[in-house]
Structure 1
Amino acid sequence: MRAEGSRRPVSVTTRSGEVVGRTSNGVNRFLGVPYAAPPFGPNRFRPAQPHDRWDRAHDATVMGPTAPQSLYDPRLEQLIPTRIIPGDEILNLNIWAPSTAPPGGAPVLLWIHGGSLTHGSNALEMYDGTRFARSGVVFVAINYRLGIEGFSVLDDALTNLGLMDQAAALTWIVEEISSFGGDPTQITVMGQSAGGAAVAALVSSPETRGLMRRAIIQSGPLVAMPTESVRETTDLIAHKIGIMPTREAFSRISPNALLAAQTRVVGDESPMTGGPSFQIALDGRMVPEIPWEAVRGGVADGIDLLIGVTTDERRLWISPGDPLVTMNKRQLGEASTALGLSPELITAYQVSFPESEPGEILGGVLADLSLRGPMIDLAEARARRGSLTYVYEFAWPSPVMELGAAHSVDLPFVFHTLDQGRTLVGDSAPSHLATVINDEWVEFAKVGSVSWSSWQQARSIKTFDGGTNSVVDDPQPDRYRELAVATERRRRTLTSAS
């Protein structure tokens, strides 16, 4: 590697050719570096293909193209603005690396963005990896195919193409990151929301086993769904266009036209409202087993795990006119019965949160069954075998739109990019909390541990609230006991359906 001082070019040679980035204040930045060929033309709806060599140096000083996607609904767009960069080279990654690497290379942190498998990119300013690089970590953020291009179920094509893109990026990193100053034997894979679900799938997949040392899952569902269930959204889009659900037929439709049809079918559906969506599929290859079940069974016991949730996950998707806001006690009882939620579970939450309205109770239960319950179940199972699992809860309440500690509010703190994430956290978010969280993530990437104890008999949860950031042992045992019962029932249902 050749660095020439502040704001000067820095050059690295990869197997595809030379890439030229920039160095500034001790950090080398390489943006928009292709890790695979463009997934269009003959490569459309196929697994990621190797990139051709380029003869001239690749300009890695600007963000690369983003995967085809539409804007969020107006409220979410205000909170997490979409960034769309046109172009075909969407399978690209950004690298922030210390300009001086230690002998053997620095630990590597691979970031997989969330966005319901339909939104997001590595180009969001909030995902800037400068802070990690200044702390001695090579930080890599990737793009992957989204929506119908990445998670369709077609009669004559492989499924989980977006997940396969992520695996291709991980393989590229193992092969190339030493040229950027990284240690390919010290890779931590990290993701949030749908990106967290992808991390769970990657750590449990036989296709990527042995490629990573550690994993961080932030507010990530740990499930995958049967292919027959996942294909319903693809079939709806095919019906909307008037074509057969085949690779040949879909390839004849332009990405923009396919995206328009996808937007009409999926619309503004959210984890709280249900409806057509894209999911990771149980494909028998990349994902042969539900990640939750596979990891709790031991397939990832050699991987250290940092996993957590936010206190108010549900609030990202609840707007003032949402039915959950106006729900009364009678409607709570009716909805709970319809959803198969036991009276004991609802009562435990009402006791734990006596000031919460009925809709908040139901939203909290549903969010916990999707995220908190599986997280604790996973930690318990791994602890019985001596595998290290560190559990946290992000609890700082954002004043923006009454979000509280909602889903995604933790992101600007993890990256220490509060200015870039002010749409989520406001103008007065505590910088000291960002320092604490970012330092913990850096330490985990470096040595596989954090400042609090792993999940054992004490059942310790680190709470990041911006105050004392205390560790709570065995929190709310009555609520957690009922949650465990409901979570086990859900796990068995998912397992039997697969």
Structure 2
Amino acid sequence: MADVLHIAQGSLRGTTIDGITAYLGVPYAAPPFGELRFAAPAPPEPWDGVRDATGFGPTVPKADYVDMYVPLFPEVVVPGEECLNLNVWTPDGSGLPVLVWIHGGAFTNGSNSVPEYDGTSFARHGIVVVSVNYRLGAEGFVYLDGAPANRGLLDQVAALRWVRKNIEAFGGDPDRVTVAGQSAGAWCVQTLLSMPQAKGLFQRAIAQSGGAQHYLNADQGRLVAGELAARLSVEPTRDDFAKLDPAVVAVAVRDLIGEIQGAPDPAKWGDLALSSQPYAPTVDGEVLENPPLPFLDPDVALLTGTTAEEARLILVASGAIGLIDETLLLQSASAYGLGADDVDIYRKARPDATPGDLLSAIVSDWYFRIPAIRSAEAHGADSWVYQFDWASPTLGSGHGVDLPFAFHTLDTPGLAPRLGDEPPVAIADTFHHVWVNFIKFGDPGWARYGNDRTVGVVNESVVSVSDPGGAERVLWEGVR
């Protein structure tokens, strides 16, 4: 792959290291500011000459993570307005499979320039990698009068259309595209699976730690917009929000999350007090016509799964895991729809577990594992389910622990608070190859999810297990 290539917008100069060329910060849509603020994404402007694509592009407006996550997920901030950009890593070749990565971060944080999302390892396996920025928080997801809903999703569709139009120039095959995401990114992936606008733009999907049940209905969208507007002393309209400094809006977005995650009032927030996600796709009847789960495209192969102890991230980072006693465990389980007898089922499978450990298992199932199973059930025959089992010395097998293993980027600085000092390379080899096999061949290496509920349990190797955690799974029938 040459350092300089031509695409529809103009010529690009990238950087080649050991046979892998990276083109960074390439605009796929116009800057979403001025008249385009809170609008649907507009096409990018062409340029003259050769554009330098050797450094990451601007990040979208956002504040830092809620305090408890700051040490675990270092943010990257790059100033500038051309924030609807993407990065491409590619080896020499043509007709190569493509991975499009949609980052997570609770719909308010993250970017395509986070170092552990480096696409080099995938490119070494003959895969063209594209990582996407999209609008976050109020800019991308708050349901405002006078603005198209789900602007962040529309950004992702625009990026996928850009890929379809341009990826052959990078050696990729536009008919061999896998779209993947983690956490909020996984919610986006499964939402895209249900959207007619995204039909035909990808053929495979990976949803890592995020299910299709997470969305807002229109009333919830209006509730969040109204609360955020009140904090900013404006009306929940596009015109009023467009007058505000994006940085000021981003801080208000973070503060509202802090309230919901710290001390949610169920009387005020309803189901959002459980999900703690006020910014998410809203079923508005136009951009997102229906709840995603019943409408997942059966023509797109799906790989979905979770870590073994997702909720440990929340409970360990907040310091709450050691403060939970039996009374609080039972009260919390009841809020999620389980009774004392159900808690005992969890206890029986974990005889040495503390009340905090048991609550972590229950929340992990409600929030992540059961939604992943429901997606596989609803999607149909061409679905695979995995469980990432390795436990870090700091967070156990918590949410986000598996990310650098999927990308095989364990040498990225700053991962020790999440992974400890010596995360095992053998597990990265295994998990990374699960993704590579699915992206290239449409098969991660074990049986599809069907009547025997086969799950690929990932550690130093992958073991096929029939219905792991089945006794707990059946407790959620009719509940979640």
Give the TM interval when normalised to the shorter protein: over 0.9
Segments of structure 2 that go 5 or more residues without pairing to the other structure are 262-271
What is the DSSP-based 3-state SS (H/G/I as helix, E as strand, rest coil) of the residue aligned with 1:335?
helix
* Deviation (angstroms), 1:66: 0.6
Q: 1:239 aligned to 222, 230, 238, which one?
A: 230
* Deviation (angstroms), 1:234: 1.9
What is the DSSP-based 3-state SS (H/G/I as helix, E as strand, rest coil) of the residue aligned with 2:165?
helix
Within 2, Cα distance between the matches of 1:381 and 1:250? Answer: 38
Q: 2:458 aligned to 457, 464, 470, which one?
A: 464
* Deviation (angstroms), 1:362: 2.3
Deviations 1:82-117 (A, max 9, x none): 11111101000000011x214xx1000000000000
1:190 maps to what in 2? 180
Segments of structure 1 that go 5 or more residues without pairing to the other structure are 4-9, 491-498
Q: Verify the 8 A CA contact 1:272 1:314 in the aligned structure 2.
A: no
1:7 maps to what in 2? none
What is the DSSP-based 3-state SS (H/G/I as helix, E as strand, rest coil) of the residue aligned with 2:54?
coil
Q: Verify the 8 A CA contact 2:98 2:174 in the aligned structure 1.
A: yes
Indicate whether 1:388 and 2:382 are aligned: yes
* Deviation (angstroms), 1:450: 1.7
2:354 maps to what in 1? 357
1:97 maps to what in 2? 90
Q: 1:309 aligned to 290, 299, 306, which one?
A: 306
Per mean C-alpha deviation after superposition, the further-off stretch among 15-24 and 267-276 is: 267-276
What is the DSSP-based 3-state SS (H/G/I as helix, E as strand, rest coil) of the residue aligned with 2:23?
strand
Q: Verify the 8 A CA contact 2:209 2:372 in the aligned structure 1.
A: no
Indicate whether 1:284 and 2:292 are aligned: no
Deviations 1:236-269 (A, max 9, x none): 2211121111111111111112223223333375
* Deviation (angstroms), 1:301: 1.0
1:176 maps to what in 2? 166
Deviations 1:224-245 (A, max 9, x none): 2202202322212211121111
* Deviation (angstroms), 1:199: 0.1
Per mean C-alpha deviation after superposition, the further-off stretch among 41-50 and 284-293 is: 284-293
1:405 maps to what in 2? 397
Deviations 1:275-297 (A, max 9, x none): 572111002123212112222xx
1:331 maps to what in 2? 328
Q: 1:375 aligned to 369, 372, 375, which one?
A: 372
Q: Verify the 8 A CA contact 1:21 1:59 in the aligned structure 2.
A: yes
Within 2, Cα distance between the matches of 1:274 and 1:95? Answer: 33
Within 2, Cα distance between the matches of 1:36 and 1:403? Answer: 38
Distance 1:403 1:155, change over 3 A: same
Per mean C-alpha deviation after superposition, the further-off stretch among 419-428 and 435-444 is: 419-428
Q: 2:96 aligned to 85, 88, 106, which one?
A: 106
1:254 maps to what in 2? 245
Within 2, Cα distance between the matches of 1:447 and 1:335? Answer: 43
Within 2, Cα distance between the matches of 1:422 and 1:412? Answer: 11
* Deviation (angstroms), 1:210: 1.4
* Deviation (angstroms), 1:33: 0.3
Distance 1:92 1:41, change over 3 A: same
Q: Partner letter of residue 440 of structure 2? A: K
Q: How many residues are matched?
A: 467
Q: Partner letter of residue 431 of structure 1? A: V
Indicate whether 1:76 and 2:77 are aligned: no
* Deviation (angstroms), 1:320: 6.8
Q: Verify the 8 A CA contact 1:307 1:390 in the aligned structure 2.
A: yes
1:230 maps to what in 2? 221
Distance 1:345 1:136, change over 3 A: same
Q: Verify the 8 A CA contact 1:265 1:276 in the aligned structure 2.
A: no
Indicate whether 1:431 and 2:425 are aligned: yes
What is the DSSP-based 3-state SS (H/G/I as helix, E as strand, rest coil) of the residue aligned with 2:455?
strand
* CA RMSD between the two structures: 1.8
Within 2, Cα distance between the matches of 1:226 and 1:33? Answer: 34
Q: Partner letter of residue 286 of structure 1? A: V
Q: Partner letter of residue 99 of structure 2? A: L
Indicate whether 1:62 and 2:55 are aligned: yes
Q: Verify the 8 A CA contact 2:58 2:82 in the aligned structure 1.
A: yes
TM-score, structure 1 as length reference: 0.90
* Deviation (angstroms), 1:61: 0.2
Within 1, Cα distance between the matches of 2:233 and 2:273? Answer: 30
Indicate whether 1:34 and 2:27 are aligned: yes
Within 1, Cα distance between the matches of 2:210 and 2:277? Answer: 19
* Deviation (angstroms), 1:351: 1.2
Q: Partner letter of residue 444 of structure 2? A: V
Q: 2:130 aligned to 114, 120, 140, which one?
A: 140
Q: Partner letter of residue 295 of structure 2? A: A
Within 1, Cα distance between the matches of 2:321 and 2:431? Answer: 32
1:495 maps to what in 2? none
Indicate whether 1:49 and 2:46 are aligned: no
Within 1, Cα distance between the matches of 2:68 and 2:111? Answer: 19
Per mean C-alpha deviation after superposition, the further-off stretch among 336-345 and 190-199 is: 336-345
Within 2, Cα distance between the matches of 1:38 and 1:175? Answer: 20
* Deviation (angstroms), 1:216: 0.2
What is the DSSP-based 3-state SS (H/G/I as helix, E as strand, rest coil) of the residue aligned with 2:130?
strand
Within 2, Cα distance between the matches of 1:257 and 1:176? Answer: 36
Deviations 1:298-355 (A, max 9, x none): xx11111111100110011113764453222223223333443233432221111221
Within 1, Cα distance between the matches of 2:242 and 2:317? Answer: 41
